[in-house]
Amino acid sequence: MSNDLSRLILLQKLDVEIRQLQDEVTSLPLRQQELEQQFAAAVTEYLALKNGLETAQTEKRELEEKIDEEQQRHLKFKNDLMKSTNEREYTTAVREIDVARKVISQLETDTLKFMERIEKLEGDLAEKTPAMEIERERVDRQLGELRARATTAQARIDELRSGRPALYDALSFDARSNYDRLSRMKSGLALAEARDYSCLGCRMSIRPQVFNDIRRAERIIMCENCGRILYFNDGEA
């Protein structure tokens, strides 16, 4: 096999592998995002329960603060009642004490409702938490695998790129020119295998004499139809 042809076969294999690895590296962030979105969709109900619990706990604390305020008012008016010196002061204190009691009673009723709601939400969360933790671990594991694959792929790309110049520079000027031109025109596939009297690049037939010349690999031969550089795979290329 001619030196140029053997180098061109190796160069295309190298470039194809680089492109495939680059495509994989480029696709990984999107796949990571898809995993996170799938996890978010899977835990929508769980997150709704968690947010509901946090809201209920906040509202319960606000009610308890209001109860404290009303109890302070109730205590004040009880003191005012003890200190009243006339009927007007006494009547006002009694009225305000009654109002404060009613407000406190309603606030305590509302607080009990929130306590019951919180207890139910906590129970629902406790039931669902193990499944969510398992799902989170699964997603984290897959994300870690994707990051590892990206690191490995990038290292391989760097390795291939470092060896490419020596292989490319060893080609003759014509071989380099043809390879670069055809790579641009044929989506990176400047060479095509010839098999069973056909070009595997365009599936067109190859004349027997030409096919025999391709098998001898003494010179570079291009497909008469698609223009790709043809080679015969004898199991060693």
Does residue 46 register a pLDDT over 90?
no
Whether residue 156 sits in one domain with residue 61: yes
Query: Quick check: is 75 in a domain?
Result: yes
Whether residue 57 sits in one domain with residue 140: yes
Whether residue 165 sits in one domain with residue 109: yes
Strands (E), 6-114: none
* 96-106 mean pLDDT: 92
Does residue 223 register a pLDDT over 50?
yes
Does residue 2 register a pLDDT over 60?
yes
At 168 the pLDDT is 96
Whether residue 198 sits in one domain with residue 162: no
At 237 the pLDDT is 42
* 43-56 mean pLDDT: 89
Query: Quick check: is 92 in a domain?
Result: yes
Q: What is d(CA 62, CA 83) in angstroms, rounded to the nearest whole number?
A: 32
pTM above 0.85? no
Whether residue 192 sits in one domain with residue 75: no
Does residue 82 register a pLDDT over 80?
yes
- How buried is 201 (Cβ within 10 angstroms: 0-12 exposed, 13-18 middle, 19+ buried)? buried
Query: Quick check: is 224 in a domain?
Result: yes
CATH code where residue 100 lies = 1.10.287.1490
Query: Quick check: is 181 in a domain?
Result: no
Query: Quick check: is 182 in a domain?
Result: no
pLDDT above 90 as % of the chain:
72
Q: What is d(CA 161, CA 145) in angstroms, rounded to the nearest whole number?
A: 24
Query: Quick check: is 178 in a domain?
Result: no
* 200-223 mean pLDDT: 94
Chain position carrying tokens 């592998």? 17
> Quick one: which of 73, 79, 69 has its CA closest to 96?
73
Task: Name which of 3-7, 47-51, 54-58 the model is least confident about.
Answer: 47-51
Q: Which of 143, 169, 195 is the last residue of a domain?
A: 169
Q: Which of 95-99, 132-136, 181-185 has the highest mean pLDDT?
A: 181-185
* 87-114 mean pLDDT: 91
Whether residue 137 sits in one domain with residue 66: yes
Digit-coded pLDDT (tens) for 177-192: 999 999 999 999 999 9
Whether residue 210 sits in one domain with residue 103: no
Query: Quick check: is 179 in a domain?
Result: no
Q: Which of 169, 199, 219 is the last residue of a domain?
A: 169
Whether residue 26 sits in one domain with residue 130: yes
Whether residue 53 sits in one domain with residue 23: yes
Tokens of 77: 């008016």
Whether residue 63 sits in one domain with residue 152: yes
Does residue 236 register a pLDDT over 60?
no
Task: State which residues form the domain around 96.
Answer: 3-169
Query: Quick check: is 175 in a domain?
Result: no
Whether residue 206 sits in one domain with residue 102: no
Domain count across the chain? 2
At 41 the pLDDT is 81
Question: Per-residue confidence at 234, pLDDT binned at 50, 70, 90?
Answer: confident
Whether residue 40 sits in one domain with residue 153: yes
The SS3 call for residue 75 is: helix
